[in-house]
Amino acid sequence: MSTTAVFTVEGMSCGHCERTVTAGLTALNGVTNVIADAKSGQVTVESAAPLQDEQIRSAVTDAGFALVGRI
Ligand SMILES: [Cu+2]
């Protein structure tokens, strides 16, 4: 069973930012799909099992952006 969670991320301004966030989150164990949208600041993360918000937060931080929260 897969899980989908949507987060707000601060600081994405273009397609490059979207790709950076997507790559960082895709690298997390269990993540099967990531959709990052700079315009809305929303990032949709699909995973095989629910992920801890802190895992998402550190991946987003490592990519150079700031996690605002889960929608
Ligand atoms: Cu950018």
Q: What is the mean pLDDT of the segment spanning 51-70?
A: 97
- Residue 67 alpha carbon to ligand 1 centre in Å: 16
Predicted local distance difference test score (pLDDT) of residue 40: 98
Alpha-carbon gap, residue 28 to 17, rounded angstroms: 18
Alpha-carbon gap, residue 12 to 3, rounded angstroms: 24
The CA–CA distances, whole Å, from 41 to 5, 17, 49, 64 equal 14, 10, 23, 14
In a domain, 2, yes or no: no
In a domain, 20, yes or no: yes
Residue 1 has pLDDT above 90, yes or no: no
- Residue 14 alpha carbon to ligand 1 centre in Å: 4
Give the N- to C-terminal CA distance of the chain in Å, as an integer.
20
- Residue 61 alpha carbon to ligand 1 centre in Å: 15
The enclosing H or E element of 62 equals: helix 53-62
| Contact indicator for 14, 40 with CB cutoff of 8 Å | no
Domains contained in the chain, number: 1
In a domain, 7, yes or no: no
CATH of the domain at 29: 3.30.70.100
pLDDT digits (tens, 9 = 90+) for 16-60: 999 999 999 999 999 999 999 999 999 999 999 999 999 999 999
Q: Which domain holds residue 64?
A: 15-70
